[in-house]
Amino acid sequence: MRRTIIVVLALLALSHFARAAEVHVAVAANFAAPMKVIATEFEKATGHKAQLAFGASGKFYAQIRNGAPFHVLLSADVAVPAMLEHDGHAVAGSRFTYAIGTLVLWSARPGLVDDQGAVLAHGGFKHLAVANPKLAPYGAAALETLGKLKLATALQPKFVYGENIAQTYHFVASGNAELGFVALSQVMQDGRLTGGSAWVVPAGMHQPIRQDAVLLLPGRDNAAATALLRFLREPATQAIIQSYGYRR
């Protein structure tokens, strides 16, 4: 009897993983850290494997329109998924907000950035890293914040533009820019700053950084793609996302 149970369980496990599929996911650069964790948990829970590519949402838009075989897009904004849906490159009605990003002014140097962001007005730095606002929503939010502070014009000569938020983070982490506006998820884990000094920009300083997911046409018959989108909505997954500083 015991042997029969073991055989049945083994067959069920084999059947589960035999149905496993692979999903190719285009992921906004700011979401790299949590998505790596989510992909591991997703494979454990479902047997499906997620192949991840990280980059700027604007660049993914161009690649997808030109036939890049992604199944799912996790964008840094709402505009790119909406345009892909409008243009017929995404499944209608599949869009939803999976996270709301948090902007942070960060320096790799402890003590440089105060918790009110006053360093921006007081100076004492030569370079301020900002993501390209034409491609990266976090860059647009950074410029909006500086506008609210009436510092955009004065600080513009100090701007060092990153192609995306990942490159912007690298500028600051490497010391090529003393400070910069990055995603909180890049410098936070388990609710704590991983190093350096930071000012978490209040949400009211810029438009919400709503990040939408969408099912792309190549993924409409892919079981792993639809399973991943469901997985992103689950409470346990949302808890992972929030642990990296995202809002709901």
Domain boundaries, the chain: 2-100+210-243, 103-200
DSSP conformational letter for 90? B
Q: Count the Cβ atoms, other than its own, within 10 Å of residue 29.
A: 25
103-200 and 2-100+210-243 share a CATH fold:
yes
Which CATH architecture does the domain made up of 103-200 adopt? 3-Layer(aba) Sandwich (3.40)
Per-residue model confidence (pLDDT) at position 243 = 92
Residue 162 CB contacts under 8 Å (≥ 6 apart), including other chains: 129, 130, 131, 132, 136, 139, 168, 169, 170, 171, 180
130 contacts 168 by C-beta, under 8 angstroms: yes
Q: Residue 111 half-sphere exposure, CB side, CA atoms within 13 Å?
A: 0
Q: Supply 235's token pair.
A: 């409470």
Q: Residue holding tokens 């009211």?
A: 204
Query: Whole-angstrom Cα distance, residue 207 to residue 118?
Result: 21
Q: Would you tell me the crossing angle of helices 57-65 and 79-86 to the nearest 10 degrees? A: 10
- Please name which of 164, 167, 155, 166 lies closest in space to residue 128, comparing C-alpha atoms: 155
Nearest to 35 by CA among 218, 245, 237: 237
Structure tokens at 146: 């500086």
Half-sphere exposure of 206 (CA within 13 A, CB side): 25
Per-residue pLDDT tens digits of the chain, which is 248 residues long: 445 444 333 434 444 444 689 999 999 989 999 999 999 999 999 999 999 999 888 889 999 999 999 999 999 999 999 999 999 999 999 999 999 999 999 999 999 999 999 999 998 899 999 999 988 889 999 999 999 999 999 999 999 999 889 999 999 999 999 999 999 999 998 788 999 999 999 999 999 999 999 999 999 999 999 999 999 999 999 999 999 999 87
248 vs 242: CA distance, rounded Å = 8
Distance CA 158, CA 164 (A): 18
User: What's the pLDDT score for residue 19?
Assistant: 67
* CATH class of the domain defined by 2-100+210-243: alpha beta
Q: Which two tokens stand for residue 222?
A: 């892919």
Helices 223-233, 32-46: crossing angle, 10 deg rounding: 110
**What CA–CA distance (Å, rounded) separates 34 from 178?**
25
